[in-house]
Each structure stands twice: as structure tokens, then as C-alpha cells.
């Protein structure tokens, strides 16, 4: 019978292990809980297994799923750390390729599953330990014969001056979240007219290319229009305006041309 009090074996004998198709919670000589997994079936047509070494402090290693791209429907990673590393340093940071602001972590293992309509994006992996490498064993599978990569686009990340109506997302927003964004600016509050560079400074936080690297942009990457659709270089009177993006990365991928900021300028 399980004992719910302190273990005679010490805290080091409290752990969760995998065995006989179950996750098993151990406390000394007692089995505290079990989570059965043997009934699960993840179908596949293609499968790969590999090993990756993240060097000390290595950042944003692109796990392109061993060449399977964004079509993966099963991903399992087991991490092995150096015995000399501190326990609090033993974790891996990961970010989805298509949303690098979504940062998560795992320690000993991670398992992600998907299906034919909800696949697993490529991941950026970071080893935060500045002193020791981490070894990752990776198993990947695809439910079908798809092998193509998604065509990722550069993403514009906005400041908190930007709004997005009818969304469940929280600020700050970026162009992967919608097409039409909003901003309301007051001439009297800022006490000057708005140039393209000034608007970009107030509205754009940063731009990242399809590899997740920060892109440098200037006035030529932003197109400003008045309410009649005439391209302009600055705003000096109240009215309704729009800003669009003319941004292409080194791979030839561009920010969605339908994306824009609708700017309302008040007195």
C-alpha cells in the first residue's frame, strides 16, 4: 500500500519514470500514481531518428525536423545533460519557427503530437547553460507522404501603440496575427507632424526574417498613403491614413502585402 508521508529513502527517491507503457510516480519503494500510455497509437508513414548536440550557450538552433519540414505529426525529444551541470541549468528553451515570441522550456523530455490538419512547426532550440553541452535524441514521424516546407514570411512586431480588433490575442501584436491593425495618434499630443521614420519608430518594435533573425529596415520599407490611396511621405493634418509594408528577406519571402496599419490622426 502506498505511504503518503515522508519517504525513508529521501527526496532523491521521488521521481517519475517510464515503464511498461506507463508514466509511474515513485516514492521510495512505493508506487504513488500511474498514467497509462499503452493504448495510445500515433500513426505514421515516415519516421526518422537522430541525435543533436547543443553546445554551451548555443542559441536558436533550427530543428528543421531532420529535413521533414513542417509536416511532422509526432515529435519526441530526450535530453541528456552533463553530470557536472547544476540541476537548475538543465533545460532547453524552444520557440516555434512561425511564432518566436512564444517561448517555452523542457528538461528531461518533450513529446508533441499533431494530426493531418494540425502539424508541428519547426523549432528554434537554445541551450541556456554557458558551461556544458546537452545531447538531444530526436524521433520524428509524419502521418502521410507530405514533405514540403511551409513558406514562412518575415514578421513585423508592433509596439503597444497598435491595436487589433476582434482578436483573442494580447499585445503586443505582429503581422502573423491578422491583416488590418489600427493606431490612433494625436498631433497636439506629439506636437509635430508624423514622418514615415517617426511613425515606424512609434509603431514598429522590430522585424524578423523567415529564419527568425532581426532585419534592419528604413523608410523605403514602409509605404504611407492618405485616405484617397495617394502615397505620401508625412502626415501633418488630422485624417485617416494607412501604412503598408514593403519588406523582403534574403530568401525572397515578403511580409503579406495585404497587411497594413490603419492610422487615425486627431488634432
What is the tens place of the pLDDT at every residue in 100-120? 778 999 999 999 999 988 888
How far apart, in whole angstroms, are the C-alpha atoms of residue 34 and residue 78? 20
Residues of the chain with CATH 2.60.40: 155-266
Peptide bond into 172 cis (omega under 30): yes
Can you give the pLDDT at residue 8? 39
pLDDT at 83: 95
C-alpha cell at 175: 503581422
Task: Report the pLDDT value the prediction gives residue 101, as an integer from 0 to 100.
Answer: 77
Predicted pLDDT at 211: 66
Full-model pTM: 0.58
CATH 2.60.120.10 placement within the chain: 46-142
Which segments in the chain show pLDDT lower than 70? 1-11, 65-70, 146-152, 168, 210-211
Give me the CATH topology for the region 46-142. Jelly Rolls (2.60.120)
Q: 195-208 pLDDT, tens per residue?
A: 999 999 999 999 98
Residue-level pLDDT at 11? 56
pLDDT of residue 5: 43
What is the assigned CATH class of domain 155-266?
mainly beta
Determine the Cα–Cα distance for residues 107 and 119; give it in Å rounded to an integer.
23
Q: What gap in Å lies between CA 14 and CA 25, rounded to an integer?
A: 7
Amino acid at each position: 500500500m502506498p505511504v503518503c508521508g515522508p519517504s525513508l529513502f529521501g527526496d532523491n527517491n521521488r521521481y517519475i519514470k517510464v515503464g511498461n507503457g506507463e508514466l509511474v510516480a515513485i516514492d521510495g519503494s512505493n508506487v504513488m500514481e500511474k498514467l497509462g500510455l499503452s493504448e495510445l497509437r500515433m500513426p505514421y508513414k515516415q519516421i526518422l531518428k537522430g541525435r543533436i548536440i547543443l553546445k554551451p550557450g548555443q542559441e536558436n538552433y533550427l530543428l528543421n525536423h531532420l529535413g521533414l519540414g513542417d509536416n511532422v505529426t509526432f515529435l519526441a525529444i530526450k535530453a541528456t545533460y552533463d553530470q557536472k551541470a547544476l540541476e537548475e541549468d538543465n533545460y532547453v528553451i524552444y520557440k516555434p519557427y512561425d511564432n518566436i515570441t512564444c517561448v517555452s522550456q523542457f528538461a528531461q523530455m518533450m513529446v508533441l503530437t499533431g494530426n493531418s490538419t494540425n502539424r508541428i512547426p519547426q523549432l528554434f532550440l537554445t541551450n541556456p547553460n554557458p558551461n556544458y553541452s546537452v545531447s538531444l535524441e530526436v524521433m520524428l514521424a509524419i502521418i502521410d507522404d507530405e514533405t514540403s516546407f511551409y513558406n514562412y514570411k518575415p514578421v513585423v512586431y508592433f509596439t503597444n501603440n497598435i491595436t487589433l480588433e476582434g482578436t483573442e490575442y494580447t499585445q503586443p501584436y505582429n503581422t502573423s496575427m491578422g491583416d488590418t491593425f489600427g493606431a490612433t495618434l494625436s498631433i497636439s499630443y506629439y506636437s509635430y507632424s508624423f514622418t514615415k521614420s517617426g511613425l515606424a519608430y512609434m509603431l514598429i518594435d522590430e522585424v524578423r526574417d523567415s529564419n527568425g533573425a532581426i532585419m534592419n529596415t528604413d523608410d523605403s520599407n514602409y509605404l504611407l498613403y492618405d485616405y484617397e490611396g495617394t502615397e505620401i511621405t508625412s502626415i501633418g493634418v488630422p485624417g485617416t491614413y494607412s501604412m503598408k509594408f514593403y519588406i523582403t528577406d534574403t530568401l525572397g519571402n515578403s511580409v503579406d502585402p495585404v497587411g497594413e496599419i490603419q492610422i487615425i490622426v486627431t488634432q
